[in-house]
Amino acid sequence: MADRSSKGRPARFDSKSQESPVSLPRNEKGGLLITEDELKIAWDFFDPNGKNKLTSADIKKRLSTFYKDISTREVKFLLNNQPEITFEELYGLLKDNQLTNFDPVKEAFKVYDPHNTGFVDMDMIKTFFKDLGYGDISDEDAKIILETADSDKDGRIGLDDFRMMVPFGQPMDDLTTIASAAGAAGSGGVGAGGND
């Protein structure tokens, strides 16, 4: 019953565009564009106390909420085999990446969909909030999260819904739409790109 949609079809086959390719913004080397603003959002998650340096312990502590079996070796790899890293060093490593076959939103979504149903598992949301120290989420709170995040109003949070919630890894078409809307509002295209 848990793997079926409200329409009676298996949930994994009911997700509209879970596997459709997404055209993501690219950097000058053809890799995934990572802006300082996007990276700062992720950095702040890993550095909640504002130390301006991350150690392997900092990274492992936060990632272990989502990846229970993350190894010290994997964490060291993320830190470029350094004992600690600053924001500037990390941005320097990532800005000229050559990642061509990677969708960060889709990868993040997999953590929220551990059973590969094509939809966020609300029990995972509750677990993450609790494990991160934000407390328990009531059923009413979970319902509000679902209603807010469910942009296509199908009663579930699929990859497309999830993509609309995160501030990074937005497809090129979405960035063009955002830029057009911002330009029409007289904001000069804020949100359409990084700092040049």
Average of pLDDT values for 71-79?
A: 91
Show the tokens assigned to 143: 């319902």
Identify the band that residue 101 occupies on the pLDDT scale cut at 50, 70 and 90: confident
Q: Which residues have a Cβ under 8 Å from the Cβ of 154 and sit 6 or more positions away? A: 5, 6
Tell me the pLDDT of the chain averaged across its residues. Answer: 79
Helix (H) / strand (E) containing 50:
none
Residue 28 has pLDDT above 70, yes or no: yes
Residue 82 has pLDDT above 80, yes or no: yes
Helix (H) / strand (E) containing 78:
helix 72-78
> What one-character DSSP code corresponds to residue 69?
T
Residue 165 has pLDDT above 90, yes or no: no
Interatomic CA distance for residues 150 and 140, integer angstroms? 15
Half-sphere exposure of 95 (CA within 13 A, CB side): 12
Amino acid at 80: N
pTM above 0.75, yes or no: no
Lowest mean pLDDT among 3-17, 40-54, 168-182: 3-17
Residue 176 has pLDDT above 50, yes or no: no
